[in-house]
Amino acid sequence: MMNRAQMVFKAIDGLGYPTQNMKKFENVISFRDIAYGDHPQNKLDLYYRRDIINDGKKHPVVIYIHGGGFIMGDKKCRVSISEYYADKGYFVCCINYRMPPDVAFPEYAHDIVNAANFVNTLAQEYSIDLDNVFVTGDSSGGFSAAYLAALKYDEALGQRIGAPKVEIDLKGILLMCGIYDVEVLLQGGKLLGVIPKTAQMIVGDFELKKDLSNFNEYPYYKEMAPANFVNDRWCPTFICWAEDDIVCQGQGEPMAEKLKENVPYYDDYHVKGVQNNHCFHLEFGHNKLAKECMQKSADFIAKVVEMEKVAK
């Protein structure tokens, strides 16, 4: 039986699905439920435009990580946005992964690494350009995208949480209304009790107090903030956020400042107003600002790919 937090995030997906997946791209095809591991949740959907499969060229790949408050969500709710990037001429791997309460942190982060590394296997069958691997995600998926970069560029972090080695090279990451410091999240509003319940599932057997005041005693307390691990080795990064985000207050702008100081190439997009709220970009089928955001994210990928060509 689902608890309140799970029901809330499931309802969010249900309510958002029609408008977030209204945009269709006729030239994009997909292969569903490709296994990258042994667990039933270790599956991904591969999207690509029909004409690129036999054009004799290699094409960039975008790994998409769905959000859902760390505890819910499914790749099937990210069809339009996966097709959006595929329509640009990229392969897109939209992944599922194990989530709390089935597994706690940091184990579910291991699935993200394994899914990303599986791109090496896909490249044996598809014309994927392994020099141009991009990772993106929304909300808690943004956390996971940032965390993958943190693991890639800070080997000591991977050792501390027992994560597999990130074997792919990251050409760029796109962080969409993500969570980059869980402690900041817990200091915000409780959202009708959803955040405390979610936090307890994330930390597993560690017993949080009702007011969450002992979070700093959690063994992976410092490791739960990918923002702490931004360094000058990071790949180019795009980040978007909503200034009036009711879920991720205090997440986007501080992360953006750290990125500006460290990454070799950086770009961002942010909006104001409660009408453009958490994960507003998913409404790109009908929302003007969401369309602008998505176009800017696509321009970011194209520019980084061009930078790679020039470098060669």
Could you write out the three-class secondary structure of the chain?
Answer: CCCHHHHHHHHHHHHHHHHHCCCCCCCEEEEEEEECCCCCCCEEEEEEEHHHCCCCCCEEEEEEECCCCCCCCCHHHHHHHHHHHHHCCCEEEEECCCCCCCCCCCHHHHHHHHHHHCHHHHCCCCCEEEEEEEEEEECHHHHHHHHHHHHHHCHHHHHHHCCCCCCCCCCEEEEECCCCCHHHHHHCCCCCCHHHHHHHHHHCCCCCCCCCCCHHHCCCCHHHCHHHHCCCCCCCEEEEEECCCCCCCCCHHHHHHHHHHHCCCEEEEEECCCCCCCCHHHHCCCCHHHHHHHHHHHHHHHHHHHHHHHHC
The CATH number given to whatever domain includes residue 219 is: 3.40.50.1820
In a domain, 62, yes or no: yes
In a domain, 131, yes or no: yes
Q: Does position 312 have pLDDT exceeding 60, yes or no?
A: no
In a domain, 221, yes or no: yes
| pLDDT, mean of residues 225-245 | 97
Q: How confident is the model at residue 205 (pLDDT cuts 50, 70, 90)?
A: very high
In a domain, 299, yes or no: yes
Residue pLDDT, tens place only, 12-68 = 899 999 999 999 999 999 999 999 999 999 999 999 999 999 999 999 999 999 999
Q: What's the pLDDT score for residue 145?
A: 98
In a domain, 204, yes or no: yes
- Could you give the percent of the chain with pLDDT greater than 90? 87
Q: Does position 308 have pLDDT exceeding 70, yes or no?
A: no
Number of structural domains the chain divides into: 1
Q: What's the pLDDT score for residue 233?
A: 96
User: Which pTM was predicted?
Assistant: 0.96
* Domain span at 235: 4-307
Residue pLDDT, tens place only, 87-130 = 999 999 999 999 999 999 999 999 999 999 999 999 999 999 99
Q: Does position 189 have pLDDT exceeding 70, yes or no?
A: no
Kindly report the number of other CB atoms within 10 A of residue 202's CB atom: 25
In a domain, 312, yes or no: no
